[in-house]
Structure 1
Amino acid sequence: MTKSELAELLGISRQAVGQQIAGTSKKKEYIRKMMKILLGLKKDEAEKILSSIPPSECAVMLTEKEVSELTKYSINTLRQYRCSGKGPSFNVGEGKKGRITYLQEDVEKWLSEQKRRPKNSKIKDMDG
């Protein structure tokens, strides 16, 4: 199985797969090990294993810093977006100083929505 196939299967970017395997994303060690194991399997074997895992167990949570690195927006900009409701969905941990986390799939969805051109753009579409 290739990194691209694994990314497609997991519903995450190829870059995220690479980060998990390289350990540049500070996620739990078992995720890294699982990805290395899955890369060593045939695609149908990996699909069988992954289909048995509940979706809630596969969610990848990102910290504010990781989202900043992924989106290329500063942490301050992300904070402003949270306050104004312009940024990706986020979770707040318990307590007075609850930790802010983001679901990776929410961030990726939000990023894809940001790729649309502004309404006042003078560039014509190639399709028409």
Structure 2
Amino acid sequence: MEIIRTDTRASRPADPAWFTGPVWQEPVIGEGAETDIRALRVTFAPGARTAWHTHPRGQTLHVLSGVGRIATRGGAVAVIREGDTVWIPPGEEHWHGAAPDRMMCHLAIQESVDGRAADWLEHVSDADYGG
């Protein structure tokens, strides 16, 4: 057993190549662990969001606080709130982020395949974000 103390893992800004707006990530599972499971606590400032992306084995999001938005390619924008859980199937193009006027924090859980947990695409346009 290993207990990983919170003060040993710093928050870090998310890569702007894959996110729009201020986003912070905190690793939960995966960095240095002997597992294919990856989990991150991700906090989005109001209006911040991911780029379009997919996951080779799908992704589960669990909203820890705030209000967010999520959409699949060609689908309607949905509102997600604290306590909501979302399953995104493997290969489904999607994005997620905070509502325009609220922060949102979620736990993102996905499995990696050959060390790859996500395939990143283009940034989400303001029109796509607005729904």
User: Larger RCO: Structure 1 or Structure 2 (Cα < 8 Å, ≥ 6 residues apart)?
Assistant: 2
* Greater helix share, structure number: 1
Please indicate, yes or no, whether the TM-score normalized by the shorter chain is above 0.5.
no
Give the TM bin, normalised by the shorter chain: under 0.3
* Greater strand share, structure number: 2
Q: What TM-score does the superposition give when structure 1 sets the normalisation length?
A: 0.25
Larger Rg: 1
